Amino acid sequence: MGEVLSQSEIDMLLAALTSGTVSADDLKEEEKRKKVKIYDFKRPNKFSKDQLHTIRNIYENYCRSLSTFLSAMLRTMVQTNVLSVEQITYEEFIRSIPDPSLINIITIEPLPGSGIVEINPNIVFSIIDRLFGGPGQAPDKIRGLTEIERTVMERLVQKMIDLLREPWISVAEISPRLEFIETNPQFTQIVSASEMVVLISLEVRIGDNIGMINICIPFLVLEPVLSKLSVHYWFSGSTREDPSPELRQNLKQKLETAMIPLTIVLGQNTITVADMLDLQAGDVIPLAKKVGDNVEIVVGHRTKFLGQPGLVGNRLGIQIVALVNNDESIYQEEKDE
C-alpha cells in the first residue's frame, strides 16, 4: 500500500507541479524506477507470511489438544499457547537452547528429514515432579535426568507428538515418531548451520511454573507440502464434504465387523486383602445379587443392558430384558440373544 499524503503535502505537490519545479514525467519515472530492497543471502526467507500464518493456525489447534492432554495427565490446570512463529537459521536456534535441555529428535513420516521438539528444563522437572506425586515444583539447580526420569519423559513426549496428527490432517497425514533424546545442543546437528527452519515457540504454564516448548522444523522437511501451507488450502481442506455412498458402505462394513468386548457382571462384593489371601479351592464368595435379579451386560466399558442368565441348549446364554441408556433410565424391552 502506498504512502498516504497529508493535505499540506498534497498542496505543496500541486504547487510544485504548477510552478514547474516538479514535472509529471519526473513523477512517472520515479514510480517506474525499481527501488532497492535489502536481501541477506545468509538468511534467505523461504517461508511466506501466508505460510507462517497457516503454521500458526495448525499449532494453535495443537495447543488446545496439548493443554487437555497435559491437564489430564498431571491432574492440574495446564495452559499452552503459541508465543511466536518465525523463520531463522538452524545455527541461531541451536545457540538459543540452554545446556542441558530436553531435546527430542523426531521424524515426521512421510515427510523427509528430522525435526526437534525442545522442552525447557523448568517445564520438564515440573512435569516429572507432578507425575511422581509432588506439587510440580522445579529444582533450584538444573541437573541431568536419571534413567527412570528419562524413560518417563520418552513415553510422555511420544504421546505429545502423537497429538500432531490431527492438526496436520488438512495438510498431510503424518506419523510423528520420537527417535532419541539428547541433552546437549551441540550433538543435535540435523541440518547444516545455515539452513532455514521454522521455529514455533509455545508458552506452557503449569501452576506457577512457566516455560517454553520450541518446535523446530527445517525447510527441507516442509518443502514437499509447502504449496499446501496456505490459508486458502488449509481452510478448504478443513471443510469436509459429505461422504460418498462407497465410503458410507465401507464404513458400515467395518463397523459391522468391528470386535468389541461384551462382559456379563453376575455380581459384586467387597472382601479384605486378608480374606483374599486365605481363599482356597471350593470357597464360596457371596455376591450382592439374589437369584432372579437382573445382571449387568457391559459393552466395552459401559453398562448398556440388563439381562437374565440361563442356558441355550447346552451352552450358557443371556436374555436381554432391559436397555440402559446414557441417562441411566431403563426401558423394559424383551429381546432374545
DSSP state of 332: E
Residue 243: predicted pLDDT: 64
Question: Average pLDDT for residues 116-120, to the nearest whole number?
Answer: 92
Closest CA to 129 of 138, 120, 142: 138
Element (DSSP H or E) covering residue 279: none
Q: How far apart are CA 304 and CA 309, in angstroms?
A: 16
- Segment 202-241, tens digit of pLDDT: 999 988 888 899 999 999 998 888 888 876 665 555 555 5
pLDDT of amino acid 237 = 54
Q: How confident is the model at residue 28 (pLDDT cuts 50, 70, 90)?
A: low
> Per-residue confidence at 255, pLDDT binned at 50, 70, 90?
confident
Mean pLDDT for all residues in the chain: 82
Give start and end residues of each alpha helix (H) in 76-146. Answer: 90-96, 121-131
Is the full-model pTM beyond 0.85? no
- What cell numbers appear for 282 in the block? 471350593
In contact, 62 and 164? CB cutoff 8 Å? yes
Instruction: Sketch out the chain's domains with CATH numbers.
Output: 49-240 (3.40.1550.10), 262-278+286-332 (2.30.330.10)
- Report whether 269 contacts 288 (CB < 8 A): yes
